Structure formats: structure tokens, C-alpha cells
Amino acid sequence: SIEVVEVRPHERHFGVYALKFEDGSERLATRNLTPGKRVYGERLVKWGGAEYREWNPYRSKLAAAIANGIKFVPIQEGTHILYLGAASGTTPSHMSDIVGERGLIYSVEFSPRVFREFMEKLVDQGRRNVVPILGDARFPYQYAHYVKGVDVAYIDVAQPAQAKILADNADYFLKPGGYVMLVIKAMSIDVTAPATETFKQEINTLKERGFEILETVHLEPYDTAHAMVVARKR
Ligand code: SAM
């Protein structure tokens, strides 16, 4: 496979790196918190005494948002995140790399089959900053005992009424001044077409629940049906 010729920090985002290949192409990566361990078959690259994991924007909507130039991602060293819709942990694993040992990713998933796969990977990797929770994001009281205040709440449950579910979770767990990140379906494939009704409704729900919308980024061509929204609790 083709060689990496440079690894450098991303100009804008903490804990995100650019891998540069000998053919001039570039890919996103994070620094592997559990060296030698892969999560979803991603390429591992050793460079300057550290190991990096390629971050595939076709597999992770957060990577797609970064590849498409999102300006502000509220995730840094030590950030505590509530992640709703963890699936088998692709995106949570990269957040885990970024926040490091002082950070925490509370990861909620409601499908027992998917959750089991997630758990098996976590045990194999020994990622200590990911807290897996088998629970339903629509009912935050189910896991209220396990989660302390978070700086960021992130949702990607691929269900209607995500904004309401997110705002309900924020009421329980988000610290004052905290941020939310929301993957919203129902953007048109045609970027010039007006936003759909669903999209407008979700944005309105966030505003009504006291959030200031900071940024919206389309995820095409990596994901043709979604956009990422970043908002802050007023
Ligand atoms: N965010 C993941 C990533 O990038 O690696 C992919 C998430 S996938 C699109 C959506 C996941 O949300 C599925 O695994 C599904 O089982 C889960 N899900 C759907 N509704 C949920 C709910 N009410 N509570 C918790 N998880 C839910």
C-alpha cells in the first residue's frame, strides 16, 4: 500500500491529524489511544513515536463534517461527551482518541445485538475512557445514575424527533454553556434545493429549547442524506 510521507496536526481541530501520502493525497486521522488496536479495519500509521488511525469520512459523520470544513468542533483534551446512538463505536472511538485519558465518552446504544459487538471491541481494545450504556436515548432517566455532567451531547440515532431527544438529554446532563451536535436527516441531495420541512422542524425544536445554532454542514459526498448541526445552550 502507498506510503505516508507526513503526519501533521489539523489546522483547526484539536486532536485531529492529516496523513499525507506519497501520491499527494491526504486523509484525516486521530492519534491511537490504544496502539496496535483497530476498531473497524482502519489503517494504522506509525509516525514520530506515535500511532495514528485513519478516520474514514464515509464511515463516520463527524469525520465527514471535518472533511467538509466545519469550523468549530467543541471537543478537546478532557472533554466529557454523551454520545447517543453509539452503534459499534466507530465515531466514539475517534472521540476517545481526541479527548484522551482525562476525557469520557458515555456511549448509549439500545440494540442489544449492536451493543454486544461494541462491548466486545471495547474489551479487546482496553479503551478506558468509553463508558458503554445499554439504554434508550428517548428515556434519559434510564441511565441518569451512570452519567455525570457533560460538556457535549452528540446524537446520531437515525430516528425522527432527534432534536427533542437531544434536548431532553441536555436537560438531564448538559453543563451550563455546553454544546450539542446533531446529525439531521432530510437534507436534499441537491445542495441548492431548499432545506426540507423535517430539517426546518428539527432546527426550530432546538431553538425553542434554548439552543443557539452555530453551524450547519452538509455531509455530501460522504453521506448523501445528512447534515451536521452544532448548537450551544443559551
Ligand atoms: N454514530 C454511529 C457512528 O458514527 O459510529 C452510527 C450510529 S447509527 C446511524 C444509529 C444507531 O442508533 C444504531 O446503532 C441504532 O441501534 C441506535 N439507536 C436508534 N435509536 C436509538 C435510541 N432510541 N436509543 C439509543 N440508540 C438508538
Task: Give which of 187, 228, 231 is closest to 62, Cα–Cα.
Answer: 228
Intervals of the chain under pLDDT 70: 186-195
Q: Give residue 198's pLDDT.
A: 81
In 10 A of CB 152, how many CB atoms? 24
Q: Is the CB of 125 under 6 A from ligand 1?
A: no
161 within ligand 1 shell (Cβ under 6 A) = no
Are the beta carbons of 123 and 82 closer than 8 angstroms?
A: no
> Is the distance from the beta carbon of residue 109 to the nearest atom of ligand 1 less than 6 Å?
yes
Q: Supply 27's cell numbers.
A: 486523509
For 105, list phi and psi in degrees, rounded to 5. Answer: -120, 100
Burial code of 154-179, b = ≥16 C-beta within 10 A, e = fewer?
bbbbeeeebbbbbbbbbeebbeeebb
Residue range 137-146, pLDDT digits in tens:
999 999 999 9
DSSP state for residue 72 in the 8-state scheme: -
Residue nearest to atom 6 of ligand 1 (CA): 87
Give the model's pLDDT for residue 193: 58
CA–CA gap between residue 6 and residue 14 (Å, rounded): 18
161 alpha carbon – ligand 1 mean position (Å): 13
Residue 196 has what pLDDT?
Answer: 76
State the Cα torsion 121-123-129-131 to the nearest 10°. 80
For atom 20 of ligand 1, the residue with the nearest CA is 157
Within 10 angstroms of residue 101's Cβ, the number of other Cβ atoms is 11
**Chain segment 82-94, per-residue pLDDT in tens:** 999 999 999 999 9
Contacts of 196 (CB under 8 A, 6+ apart): 186, 187, 188
**pTM, entire model:** 0.95
CB-side exposure of 49: number of CA atoms within 13 Å? 0
CB 78 within 8 A of CB 89: no
* 194, burial (CB in 10 Å: exposed 0-12, middle 13-18, buried 19+): exposed
CA gap 189, 220 in Å, rounded: 8
Query: 141 CB contacts (<8 Å, ≥6 apart)?
Result: 172
